[in-house]
Amino acid sequence: MGEVKPNEEEESNAFLQLAECELKVDAIEKDVAQYRLDKMKSVYQERDGLVNKIPEFWKIVLSQHTDFANYIRASDFTYVDCIQDVKVEWDNVDEFKIIIKFDGIKDDFEAQTVTKQFKRQKIIDDTKSKEDSDSDDDDDELEKLISEPVDIKWPKKYEDICPESIQDKKSPEGKKKYRQGMKSLFGWFRWTGLKPGKEFPHGDSFAELIVDDLYPYCVKYYTEAHRDLEDENDDSDSESEGELDLSDDEGNENEPKRRKL
């Protein structure tokens, strides 16, 4: 379509160079994340020790967190309440393990500590068909979280949905039970990130929730859990004003603060 004019050429180059800049920015963000982890390591260790002295710390944090419950089955909370300790240990910014210590429930659930290992990996997006792969392939490299399945002893109450005890995994009923098990908290320990649709749903986001939010901000959530309880007891404030928000629809609900603040 006609010849390229000098300033169009310059602009065109500027865009390519900006794309390069984005790569540099990404690399810096990784570096910063690593720097942060190194710095935090000793504080996290100190904190892990302190948190252990507070009874039911993790039970309270996990019940408090609004998003946590979205990932698991309501019946899982019996076993969430058994969680005595949660720890995250980073080998580096892309490799880490989540260590969960469960107390037992007599005649139902065995006390145990389970360590699940995770890794972030570049994976070529294979949903794209071969023919449209062009020189831009590098853009389609996605970073993906993967993990290894790890053994955990399931509660007796879950026997009918525990994959080890389902006899006939081919029957419709068997399939259904199997899927229900995979959706439970225990199913998550088998999650690999490699068989989408057949595993614990959103196992990656669930891991990231623990690693990027629950573990780093556990003390904040613990404190909030106590503040909320006080609020509930304090009904003297009329609900008419402050706590009600007149946000009007889906759009505004999660819209950031605007002028009305």
Distance of closest approach, residue 73 Cβ to a copy of itself, in angstroms: 6
50 binds, among a copy of itself, another protein, none (CB under 5 to 8 A by kind): a copy of itself
- How many residues form the binding site for a copy of itself (CB under 8 A)? 61
DSSP string, 206-237: HHHIIIIIITTTHHHHHHHHHHHHHHHH---S
Binding mask 125-164 for a copy of itself (x = CB under 8 A): ----------------------------------------
Select 81 or 94, whichever has its Cβ closest to another protein: 81
The Cα 56–Cα 225 span in angstroms is 12
The Cα 56–Cα 178 span in angstroms is 32
Could you tell me which stretch among 93-101, 114-122, 141-149, 251-259 binds a copy of itself (CB under 8 A)? 251-259
**Beta pairing class for 95-102 and 112-124:** antiparallel
22 interacts with another protein by CB under 8 A:
yes
Supply angle C-alpha 57, 60, 64, rounded to 5: 140
Select 74 or 107, whichever has its Cβ closest to another protein: 74
Which of 4, 28, 124, 194 binds a copy of itself (CB under 8 A)? It is 28
**C-alpha Rg value of the chain to the nearest Å:** 24
251 interacts with another protein by CB under 8 A:
yes
The Cα 74–Cα 259 span in angstroms is 38
152 three-class SS: coil
Distance of closest approach, residue 95 Cβ to a copy of itself, in angstroms: 20
194 binds, among another protein, a copy of itself, none (CB under 5 to 8 A by kind): none
Residue with the two structure tokens 């963000």: 29
Question: Is residue 108 a contact partner of residue 155, using CB atoms and an 8 Å limit?
Answer: yes
Interface residues for another protein in 94-153 (CB under 8 A)? Answer: 131-132, 136, 139
196 binds, among another protein, a copy of itself, none (CB under 5 to 8 A by kind): a copy of itself
Distance of closest approach, residue 117 Cβ to a copy of itself, in angstroms: 23
Q: What sign results for the dihedral spanned by CA atoms 217, 222, 227, 231?
A: positive
171 interacts with a copy of itself by CB under 8 A:
no
